[in-house]
């Protein structure tokens, strides 16, 4: 695996540079197609023998669909589908670590702190919904936004718990991937809905980094599963 050690970091850096150059120098439609093309390259990399993990297939398919829908973000139908797809991505991420989180033991104090954090984040969602300009809202927008927001909160909570419980490379990459994807969505919201266009650049960097970290997590998970299978085969031999 050593020849591939630096491939993903270099690949990610090149994609970031290309995307930022396109965003600065070309028009919005080209920019969105380049984002989709970047995600397509990540997807093709994921389905290669080096990175493929069947548990992550749904996530990468949804990420690809999401960036495809983003090309027509202003269309209310596509916008609604993006919210649903992004929520599904975060719920699918929870599913990956859910089995191991069931073993997690928490005390009353931790449950109280967790509940307070959930409440504060829901209040933040309410504040963000109120900041959306009326001309960018549509029927069921609030419902979809809350559904998406709660999915994000649950996923971040799961990622933090997973990282604290196992504290290994895989859990750190998973946490980094989740936080990067959340920050990508947040900065896109700020750029599009609040009019701070500079945040589109930040969104793109977080998006690419998040997918790269997720890909590395899948790689580590694949190695771990392979080691477990080899160990079981040795014991049964």
Q: Confidence band (pLDDT; 50, 70, 90) for 228?
A: very low
Q: Residue 227's pLDDT is what?
A: 45
**Each residue's pLDDT tens digit, 30-64:** 999 999 999 999 999 999 988 888 889 999 999 99
Mean pLDDT to the nearest integer, 64-76: 92
In the chain, where are the structural domains located? 2-236
**Residue 189 parent element (H or E):** helix 169-193
Handedness of CA 128, 130, 136, 140 (dihedral sign): positive
99, pLDDT greater than 70:
yes
Closest CA to 5 of 50, 36, 44, 39: 50
């Amino acid at each position: 695996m050593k020849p591939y050690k630096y491939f993903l970091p270099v690949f990610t850096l090149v994609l970031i540079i290309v995307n930022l150059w396109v965003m600065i120098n070309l028009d919005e439609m080209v920019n969105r197609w380049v984002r989709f093309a970047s995600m397509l390259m990540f997807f093709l990399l994921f389905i290669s023998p080096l990175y493929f993990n069947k548990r992550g297939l749904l996530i990468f398919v949804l990420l690809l669909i999401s960036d495809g829908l983003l090309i027509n973000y202003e269309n209310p139908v596509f916008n609604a589908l993006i919210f649903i797809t992004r929520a599904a991505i975060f719920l699918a991420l929870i599913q990956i670590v859910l089995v191991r989180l069931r073993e997690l033991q928490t005390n009353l104090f931790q449950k109280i702190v967790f509940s307070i954090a959930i409440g504060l984040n829901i209040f933040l969602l309410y504040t963000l919904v109120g900041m959306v300009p009326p001309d960018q809202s549509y029927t069921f927008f609030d419902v979809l936004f809350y559904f998406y927001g709660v999915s994000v909160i649950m996923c971040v909570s799961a990622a933090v718990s997973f990282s604290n419980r196992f504290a290994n490379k895989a859990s750190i990459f998973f946490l980094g991937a989740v936080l990067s994807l959340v920050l990508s969505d947040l900065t896109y919201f700020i750029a599009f809905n609040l009019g701070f266009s500079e945040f589109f650049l930040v969104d793109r960097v977080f998006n690419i980094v998040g997918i790269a970290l997720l890909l590395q997590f899948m790689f580590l998970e694949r190695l771990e599963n392979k080691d477990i299978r080899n160990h079981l085969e040795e014991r049964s031999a």
